Amino acid sequence: MRELMSTVFYRGEPLNTSRELPFVGDTAPFFTLADKNIADLSLDDLNGKNIILNIFLSIHIPECAQSIRDFNLIAAKNSNIIFLCVSADLPLSMREFCEREGLDYIQTASFFRNTNFTDDYGVSIDSGAFRGLSTPAIISINNNQEICYSKRVTNIEAFYNYHDAITSLKPR
């Protein structure tokens, strides 16, 4: 079932999106993001790799920063998967955060130059103070660029569950 209009909560405040996440079985929407060095990073650059996207609101939100730390711990145990943390934050800010925290197993990317990313992946916040940023979501893409897992995080303050996203990439 496709997820349509959705509300995500951050400290009791609703963040609304009217877009749908990619459906399991769909081809992953193409993207070009800015990597930690502000160079282009596209889906084609990751072709043939298993990818898990940790799409989040901002590195400056403590719960989102924690999700990146958690993601790094999981990435350390899953070297066959690219763990890509994506937000609108400037790439240099994310790079500095990762260097300061010693987060070596993840990659970061920003959609600050390509706002189509949030529409294409169904995570664009439509109203309120965070309009234009992204609702948190976990999306796994297999080495054939097919969506294997797609879930919106409904409460930013709650623990993110990566287990199902990782399991979705394992051969059946």
Q: Which residues are catalytic?
A: 64
**Amino acid at position 78, single letter:** N
